[in-house]
A and B are shown apart, each in its own frame.
Chain A
Amino acid sequence: MMHFLATYGTQLLSKTGQHLLISAAALGLGVIVAVPLGILLTRMKHGANLVMSLAGVLQTIPAMALLAMMIPIFGIGSTPAIVALFIYSLLPILRNTYLGMQGVSPTVRDAAKGMGMTWWQMMTQAEIPLAAPVIMSGIRLSATYVIAWATLASYIGAGGLGDFIFNGLNLYRSDLILGGSIPVILLALLVDYLLGKVERAVMPKPLR
């Protein structure tokens, strides 16, 4: 253990950094796209189902295949990996945003509008705060997925902790495999814990 850290310590840190960066970028994009899209879907009578099933279909593409498909378009490196992971992150966020916004009581919406809130005020002061816990739990779920799948990104040259695992597999070195997968697991748990905290923080006080 100490020997492993002494040999690969710096590498482990930089790979972890890479891993986090790829995951964060993918998740960030996912949030930027899926949250507004989910809100938009609640405003549309039709189309919500279509978009949701489309996101569902994307989710079913095997991770390896999706990553491979990115190469002809984006080449190799971190860009294709981020795009692929971003696609994976969409569904949970989209679905939870949609459900969260749907879950806001029509009475609250009616009152907010009837008292003279603009569309933007209704969103920012009433609906999004009330839907926030559900949206946040979608983001949290996506985050753990993305961190786990980012391991595969090393396959298309994006780096990250997956490098350890793939090297270990190629060289029959179980220390490398464990040295890659344990940090991934810890990372996923840590992020899940932290986002759980955030989820609680955005929850309206009386509902905690």
Chain B
Amino acid sequence: MLLSMEHLRKEYPNGKIAVDDFNLEVDRGEFIAFIGTSGSGKTTTMRMINRMLNQTSGTIKINGKDISKMDPVKLRRSIGYVIQNTGLMPHMTIQENIEMVPKLLGWSKEKREEQAHKMIALAQLPDEMLQRYPGELSGGQQQRIGVVRALAADQELILMDEPFGALDPITRESLQDLVKHLQRDLGKTFIFVTHDMDEALNLSTKVVIMSQGKQVQVDTPENILRHPANEFVTNLIGEERLIRAQPNILTVSQIMLTNPAAITPDKTLEDAIEQMHERRVDTLLVTDKDNVLQGFVDLDDINRIADAHTPVSRFTQDRVFYVKANALIGDTVDRILKKGVKNVPVVDEDKHLVGIVTRTALVDIVYDALHGAPDANEKPASPINADIHAAATREGGEMPQ
């Protein structure tokens, strides 16, 4: 356990409770996103981790050590810190900026210089840029430096406060790739505050949704999309995003029809025709007495047989295409649609027939995912979302200097 936060509470002298009973355990290599409306306490919580703010009660432990017993200056040097408007020192060169914490830690000049070259390479920027000043770089380049500066002293844990909020979408994406790479390949642990739900869902291994100082839901992005804890979370995620995420979170079992038309092999042609007529279908699935899928019979094949008492097993086609019930729709939909079949039997792990997926149901899902639900686009943006975007800037009330 790299970081653990227990019963964290922050109350301001004016009685405002910014954070209430916050609990979180963070393993090495995780990517945690704090997301919530303005004033939800997400920035406050993050700032307590490097003691930019002190909690009213509760404990924060890093590697098992209670940080309230540590020297705040030493603590901060051991934690990377990235803020929205880069926080680069305008009067220092890029190199001096990168070397800041190593210098504070008393590294030798040679070691610092070596690290600066390593870090600028990590930021995927040219080495010559070390001699430039932050003002000469673009916003995206500056924030790249801001990110690698936070790693320059081999910090394990990096805190980021809306690091990409001020960047244009394309630059933001390339920076997201950078931090994702740092987390995945270097095993760094990130905790970042964001108001951008896409960013949170794409980058993080765990999302902490906060509202009015409390944790509303803490889970993986997949689980949050699959089971939003309440309406607040649903609104925060947004209807459209939920629909778009469907292929990746819905399983086949959730969209299948559970009462497929099936017949056992020992029945006769007569029985088959009768059942088809009754169910108004032109194919029947064939299952044995244990309900294990054997194949299917088609009306075309039946027409060629004269004897009404021929057993079904004689004209069963055993080359049947089926899908597993627990498969994700996103993974199977292409295969199903390309096969050109009208419908596909669904089986469980032991090949027992459990349902059937019709082409219509699939097409609906694909259509929704591509274009949003028919009415989702016309709805006005939910007030909560609007609020979050308005709060894109820092949370004013939360940070007394």
Q: Is the CB of A108 within 8 A of B76?
A: no
A205 to B96, CA, bound (A): 13
Q: Is the CB of A110 within 8 A of B91?
A: no
Chain A residues 62 to 93 lying within 8 A of chain B, measured CB to CB, are none
Interface residues on B, range: 20 to 34
Residues of A within 8 A of B361 (CB): none
Q: How far is the CB of B88 from chain A (nearest CB, A)?
A: 7
Residues of B within 8 A of A116 (CB): 73-78, 101, 104
A108 to B401, CA, bound (A): 13
Q: A106-B401, A121-B104 are in contact. Are A113 and B91 (CB under 8 A)?
A: no
Q: Is the CB of A112 within 8 A of B89?
A: yes
**Option from B81, B90, B159 in Cβ contact (under 8 Å) with A108:** B90
A126 to B90, CA, bound (A): 9
Q: Is the CB of A110 within 8 A of B83?
A: yes
Q: Is the CB of A206 within 8 A of B87?
A: no
A196 to B86, CA, bound (A): 32
User: Which residue of A is nearest B50, CB measured?
Assistant: A114
Q: A114-B52, A115-B100, A117-B73 are in contact. Are A205 and B91 (CB under 8 A)?
A: yes
* A109: Cβ under 8 A from any B Cβ: yes
Q: Is the CB of A111 within 8 A of B90?
A: no
Q: How far is the CB of B71 from chain A (nearest CB, A)?
A: 10
Q: A205-B133, A206-B133, A206-B136 are in contact. Are A114 and B87 (CB under 8 A)?
A: yes
* A17: Cβ under 8 A from any B Cβ: no
Q: Is the interface of A mostly helix, strand, loop or mixed?
A: helix
Residues of A within 8 A of B76 (CB): 113-116
Residues of A within 8 A of B85 (CB): 105, 107
Q: Is the CB of A115 within 8 A of B135?
A: no
Interface size counted on chain A using CB atoms at 8 A? 23
- Per-position binary interface string of chain A over residues 93-111, scored 1 when its CB falls under 8 Å from any chain B CB and 0 otherwise: 0000000000001111111
Residues of A within 8 A of B133 (CB): 205-206
B residues neighboring A (CB under 8 Å): 50, 52, 73-78, 81, 83-91, 100-101, 104, 133-136, 149, 159, 401
Q: When A and B form their complex, which 10 residue pairs have the shortest distance between CB atoms, in order from nearest?
A: A111-B87, A204-B91, A116-B77, A206-B133, A116-B76, A114-B81, A107-B85, A206-B135, A107-B87, A129-B91
Give 15 CB contacts A-B under 8 Å.
A105-B85, A106-B401, A107-B86, A109-B401, A111-B81, A111-B87, A115-B76, A115-B101, A116-B75, A116-B77, A121-B104, A129-B91, A204-B90, A204-B91, A206-B90
